[in-house]
Amino acid sequence: MPYLFTSESVSEGHPDKVADQISDAILDEYLRQDPTAKVACETLVTTDFALVAGEIKSTAHVDAEPIVRNTIRHIGYNKSEYLFNADTCEVMNRLHEQSPDINQGVVRKAPEEQGAGDQGMMFGYATNESASYMPLALDLSHRLLEELAIIRRGGQEMTYLRPDAKSQVTIRYSDDHRPEAIETIVISTQHDDFDASEEVMLTRIKQDILTILIPRVKAKLSVEVQALFTNDIQHHINPTGKFVIGGPHGDSGLTGRKIIVDTYGGKGAHGGGAFSGKDSSKVDRSAAYATRHIAKNLVAAGVAEQALVQVAYAIGVAKPVGLYVTTYGTTKALGPNGQPLTDGEIADKVNELFDLRPYAIVERLGLRNPIFSATAAYGHMGRQPGTVTVKMKDGEEKTFETFTWEKLDYVDRIKAAFKL
């Protein structure tokens, strides 16, 4: 019997994402000056106020206030009527030195024996149901809000848009877990006050979403996904009505409160650790990227139609205490007996192919580089690898790869190992 699955996303102007972006901007500035910096930066935002707090161990000297203001300004909170304004909000800095008790567990004489910055388990997931190897409901939810932000920044259409927004997409799946159709699209977008009745205002917003936003998103999708946009979709546009008050004035925001939006939209699994504001010695972040890298390459290589990879650590210990893989019964790789490999056999091969000690992950994925600001909105996974050019502390410009955990650079090795 067909079933429904739903995922949501939030825009860069959502208060929790404002907090995430501030935390990652501060992290990037520390890494720009000191690639070995240990950073755990948390942010709180509310009405015309931003607080940054956390623990730092670094030789860098970072003035947090201009970074906070520039991040808020870039998002689009630059008008007094928003009641959260980059130029006027109070900024409080409570960053302090990292505990030496934590640091002694991470730093080792031999760099490759660097211990995990904390205990815990991290998950990576991938599925072949979308071009990005992401769950389709989440992929579409992100795309809707990314395009809405492009329209808002362009300033030519939907000129009433404000930065805060949320989306949600429900997909109908067949018995064999294939997307059949989009069942429901929900979009709530903050907007300017209209010189019109609420009914007229909502009618215009809904019309613009249906005739401007959704067609633009649909045009960028594959033919197969476009076919899922049927005339039977239920659209709920600003279903509560007027949405003028939003952002950190409408709701306080905290770093790390959108971890499901950041990962797989409720599919697969999540270990519970947030990403933004944390340097890569924190395996909450680096190992989550590493397991996504593994899962995506496994699926892309044809080992399975979907894969979930879990890794677990003890604080201060380099070698993982456990590795788990499940393919949900979709394994395509065969063993010597001609039968599909078990998940345990797949995990053994993954252990041979990928070094999951924290130092090895950081080196493989280039996670000491100032590349994290781009991750703090529209998902850490499923993004397109690219580059960013940064002026370093000595004035030299360097170019770094971004979203390295999304690269399909292990496909050939995996095919060889699994004889595919």
Amino acid at 76: G
Nearest to 407 by CA among 390, 388, 386: 386
- Confidence (pLDDT) at 152: 98
Nearest to 168 by CA among 7, 396, 36: 7
Please indicate, yes or no, if residue 114 is contained in any of the structural domains.
Answer: no
Cβ atoms of 295 and 310 closer than 8 Å: no
Same domain flag for 242 and 280: no
Same domain flag for 298 and 390: yes
pLDDT over threshold 80, residue 117: no
Please indicate, yes or no, if residue 112 is contained in any of the structural domains.
Answer: no
Please indicate, yes or no, if residue 78 is contained in any of the structural domains.
Answer: yes
Copy the structure tokens of residue 333.
Answer: 């790789």
Q: What is the CATH number of the domain that holds 157?
A: 3.30.300.10
- Split at pLDDT 50, 70, 90, the class of 174 is very high
What span, in angstroms and rounded, lies between the C-alpha atoms of 37 and 323?
A: 28
Same domain flag for 223 and 146: yes
Residue 98 assigned ligand-binding role? yes
Mean pLDDT within 163-179: 96
Residue 33 assigned ligand-binding role? no
Residue-wise pLDDT for 123-142, tens only, equals 999 999 999 999 999 999 99
What span, in angstroms and rounded, lies between the C-alpha atoms of 8 and 260?
A: 9
**Which letter does DSSP use for residue 389 in this model?**
E
Please indicate, yes or no, if residue 108 is contained in any of the structural domains.
Answer: no
Nearest to 349 by CA among 271, 410, 399: 410
Residue 398 assigned ligand-binding role? no
Same domain flag for 89 and 200: no
Residue 193 assigned ligand-binding role? no
**Which letter does DSSP use for residue 405 in this model?**
G
Copy the structure tokens of residue 131.
Answer: 């071009």
Average pLDDT of the chain to the nearest whole number = 94
Same domain flag for 208 and 319: no
Q: What share of the chain is helix, strand, coil (3-state, %, to 5)?
A: 35, 25, 40
Residue 270 assigned ligand-binding role? no
Please indicate, yes or no, if residue 302 is contained in any of the structural domains.
Answer: yes
Domain termination site, one of 218, 247, 276:
247
Please indicate, yes or no, if residue 276 is contained in any of the structural domains.
Answer: yes
Beta-bridge partners for 323 = 311
**Side-chain-side CA neighbours of residue 26 (13 Å):** 34
HEC string for 292-329: HHHHHHHHHHCCECEEEEEEEECECCCCCCEEEEECCC
Q: Domain limits at 180?
A: 3-10+136-247
Residue-wise pLDDT for 34-75, tens only, equals 999 999 999 999 999 999 999 999 999 999 999 999 999 999
Residues 6+ apart with CB under 8 A from 416: none
Residue in the structure block whose two tokens are 């206030």: 65
Please indicate, yes or no, if residue 110 is contained in any of the structural domains.
Answer: no
Residue 397 assigned ligand-binding role? no
Amino acid at 157: E
Nearest to 364 by CA among 323, 405, 411: 405
Rg (C-alpha) for the chain, rounded Å, is 22
| DSSP H/E element including 414 | helix 411-418
Same domain flag for 159 and 231: yes
Domain termination site, one of 189, 221, 247:
247
Residue in the structure block whose two tokens are 């910096």: 37
Residue 383 assigned ligand-binding role? no
Same domain flag for 98 and 161: no
Cβ atoms of 24 and 74 closer than 8 Å: no
pLDDT over threshold 60, residue 175: yes
Mean pLDDT within 75-100: 92
Residue 391 assigned ligand-binding role? no
Same domain flag for 281 and 331: yes
Same domain flag for 286 and 313: yes
Copy the structure tokens of residue 37.
Answer: 């910096």
Mean pLDDT within 209-225: 97
- Confidence (pLDDT) at 118: 77
Residue in the structure block whose two tokens are 């067949």: 174
Cβ atoms of 106 and 99 closer than 8 Å: no
Cβ atoms of 242 and 189 closer than 8 Å: no
Same domain flag for 319 and 370: yes
Same domain flag for 271 and 372: yes
- Split at pLDDT 50, 70, 90, the class of 407 is very high
Amino acid at 162: R
Residue 251 assigned ligand-binding role? yes
- Confidence (pLDDT) at 103: 56
| DSSP H/E element including 97 | strand 90-97
What span, in angstroms and rounded, lies between the C-alpha atoms of 186 and 150?
A: 19
Residue-wise pLDDT for 292-311, tens only, equals 999 999 999 999 999 999 99
Q: Domain count for the chain, please give it.
A: 3
What span, in angstroms and rounded, lies between the C-alpha atoms of 417 and 194?
A: 61
Cβ atoms of 143 and 220 closer than 8 Å: yes
Amino acid at 14: H
Residue scoring higher pLDDT (341 or 101): 341
Cβ atoms of 185 and 207 closer than 8 Å: no
Domain termination site, one of 247, 278, 310:
247
Please indicate, yes or no, if residue 113 is contained in any of the structural domains.
Answer: no
Residue 401 assigned ligand-binding role? no
Residue 332 assigned ligand-binding role? no
Same domain flag for 178 and 280: no
